[in-house]
C-alpha cells in the first residue's frame, strides 16, 4: 500500500476525498502518530514508516472516514496556541472562538481601563477553552465557568489543571448558579448552542459532538432569550457581555441586548471569514 511518509499522505488524501472528508485530515493524523511538527514532516517525506506507524495511521484514517472527528481520534484540539483535551462530551473549540477571546480582552481593557480585579463568568464552558485562555491571558480576571453537564466540567477541570489556570467551575444551567448565590460579575461571556434544530450538519459534527452544545431551538436563539431574562440579575452597574452567535444571528441578538439594556453600546463584529460572529454590549 505505502511504505514512505509521502506515500502515506498521498494514500490518505485520495482515500478521504473519495469518502467526502477533508484531504488535509491525513496530514494532521500523521503528525500525531509520528509526534512531529509540519516542518519535521516535510523534511522527512522520504523516511520509511514502521509497521506499527503504518497500522496506526491506517486505523486513524479509517476512523475519520467513518465520521469520527480528528480531534476525538488524537484526543485534543489547539486553541490560542494551547492544547485542550476534547472528547464526545464537549464541543470541539473552533478558530472563530479565538476571535471572541481577543475581542473580550480588547474591550475589557477599553471599558475597565484601570480597574481590577474583575469578575468574569464563562457560561456553558464545555472544554473550558474560553475561561482558561482568558485566565492565562488576562491576570486581573477572577474567572467562574458554568456548565449544565458534569461530564463536560470534568474535561474543563482537567484542562485547567494541566494548563495551570485559575478558574472556579460550577455545575448549573446558564446563570442560575450565580443568581442563586447572589453573585454579581463585571463580564459575562458565552458561546451558547445556536444552531437551529432543523439545520443539516455533517456526520462528523451531528453524530459525535454533544447536541446540548449545538442546538438552540427552532431559530437557534432560545439561549439568548434566556440570557436576557437572567443577565440583569448578575451584572454590575458597569458591565460587559460578549456572545458568539451563528452567521446571520448578529442583529437579532444585538436587538435583544439593546432592548434589555437601553443605555448599552452594542456592536456586531464579523469573524475572519466575513460572517457576523460576535456581539458585544458595553453597559
Is residue 13 annotated as involved in ligand binding? no
Beta bridge partners of 85: 76
Residue 192 assigned as binding residue = yes
Confidence label for 193 from pLDDT (cuts 50, 70 and 90): confident
- The burial of 134, by beta-carbon neighbours within 10 Å (0-12 exposed, 13-18 middle, 19 or more buried), is given as buried
In a domain, 127, yes or no: yes
Sheet strands (E) in the chain: 76-79, 82-85, 118-123, 141-147, 167-171, 185-190, 235-244, 265-270, 276-282
Q: Are residues 62 and 176 in the same domain?
A: no
Taking residue 31's Cβ as centre, other Cβ atoms within 10 Å add up to: 15
Residue 249 included in any domain: yes
Query: What's the pLDDT tens digit per position in 225-282?
Result: 899 999 999 999 999 999 999 888 899 999 999 999 999 999 999 998 899 999 999 9
What does the alpha-carbon distance between residue 243 and residue 267 come to, in Å, rounded to a whole number?
11
**Domain check: are 62 and 139 in the same one?**
no
CA distances from 212 to 106, 127, 176, 197, 220 (A): 30, 14, 17, 11, 12
Closest CA to 159 of 82, 244, 81: 82
Query: Does residue 125 have a known ligand-binding role?
Result: yes
Residue 22 structural domain: 5-66
pLDDT digit string, tens, across residues 139-174: 899 999 999 889 999 999 999 999 999 999 999 989
- Whether residue 96 sits in one domain with residue 59: no
55 labeled binding residue: no
Domain membership flag for residue 260 = yes
255 annotated binding-site participant: no
Tell me how many domains the chain contains: 2
Contact 195, 216 (CB under 8 A): yes
Residues 124 and 204 in one domain: yes
Return the CATH number at 202: 3.40.50.150
Q: Is 191 known to sit in a ligand binding site? A: yes
| pLDDT tens-place string over residues 199-229 | 665 555 545 445 554 555 667 788 898 999 9
* Distance between CA atoms of residues 98 and 132, nearest Å: 12
Specify whether 16 is located in the same domain as 115: no
266 and 174 within one domain:
yes
- 251 Cβ neighbours under 8 A, 6+ residues apart: 268, 276
Domain membership flag for residue 72: no
In this structure, the answer to whether residues 172 and 274 fall within a common structural domain is yes
Q: Answer yes or no: is 203 within a domain.
A: yes
Flag whether 197 is marked binding: no
3-class DSSP assignment, residue 33: helix
In a domain, 81, yes or no: no
Q: Is 88 annotated as a binding residue?
A: no
237 carries a ligand binding annotation: no
The reply to whether 93 sits in an annotated binding site is no
Residue 78 lies in a domain: no
* pLDDT tens digits, 6-63: 888 888 888 888 888 887 888 889 999 998 888 888 888 899 889 998 899 999 998 8
Same-domain pairing of 20 and 135: no
Amino acid at each position: 500500500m505505502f511504505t514512505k511518509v509521502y506515500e502515506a499522505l498521498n494514500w490518505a488524501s485520495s482515500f478521504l476525498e473519495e469518502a467526502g472528508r477533508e484531504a488535509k485530515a491525513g496530514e494532521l493524523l500523521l503528525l500525531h502518530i509520528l509526534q512531529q511538527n509540519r516542518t519535521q514532516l516535510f523534511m522527512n517525506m522520504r523516511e520509511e514508516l514502521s509497521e506499527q506507524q503504518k497500522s496506526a495511521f491506517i486505523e486513524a484514517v479509517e476512523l475519520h472516514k467513518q465520521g469520527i472527528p480528528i480531534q476525538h481520534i488524537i484526543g485534543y484540539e489547539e486553541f490560542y496556541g494551547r492544547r485542550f483535551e476534547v472528547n464526545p462530551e464537549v464541543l470541539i473549540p473552533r478558530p472563530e472562538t479565538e476571535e471572541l477571546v481577543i475581542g473580550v480582552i480588547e474591550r475589557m481593557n477599553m471599558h475597565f481601563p484601570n480597574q481590577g480585579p474583575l469578575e468574569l463568568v464563562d457560561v456553558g464552558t464545555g472544554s473550558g477553552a474560553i475561561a482558561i485562555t482568558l485566565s492565562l491571558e488576562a491576570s486581573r480576571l477572577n474567572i467562574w465557568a458554568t456548565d449544565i453537564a458534569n461530564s463536560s466540567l470534568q474535561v474543563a477541570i482537567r484542562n485547567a489543571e494541566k494548563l495551570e489556570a485559575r478558574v472556579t467551575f460550577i455545575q448549573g444551567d446558564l446563570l442560575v448558579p450565580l443568581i442563586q448565590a447572589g453573585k454579581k460579575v463585571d463580564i459575562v461571556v458565552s458561546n451558547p448552542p445556536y444552531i437551529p434544530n432543523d439545520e443539516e450538519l455533517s456526520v462528523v459534527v451531528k453524530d459525535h459532538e454533544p447536541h446540548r452544545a449545538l442546538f438552540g431551538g427552532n431559530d437557534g436563539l432560545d439561549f439568548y432569550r434566556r440570557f436576557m431574562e437572567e443577565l440583569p440579575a448578575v451584572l454590575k452597574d458597569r458591565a460587559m457581555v460578549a456572545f458568539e452567535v451563528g452567521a446571520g444571528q448578529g442583529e437579532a441578538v444585538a436587538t435583544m441586548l439593546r432592548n434589555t439594556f437601553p443605555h448599552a453600546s452594542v456592536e456586531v463584529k464579523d469573524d475572519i471569514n466575513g460572517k457576523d460572529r460576535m456581539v458585544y454590549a458595553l453597559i
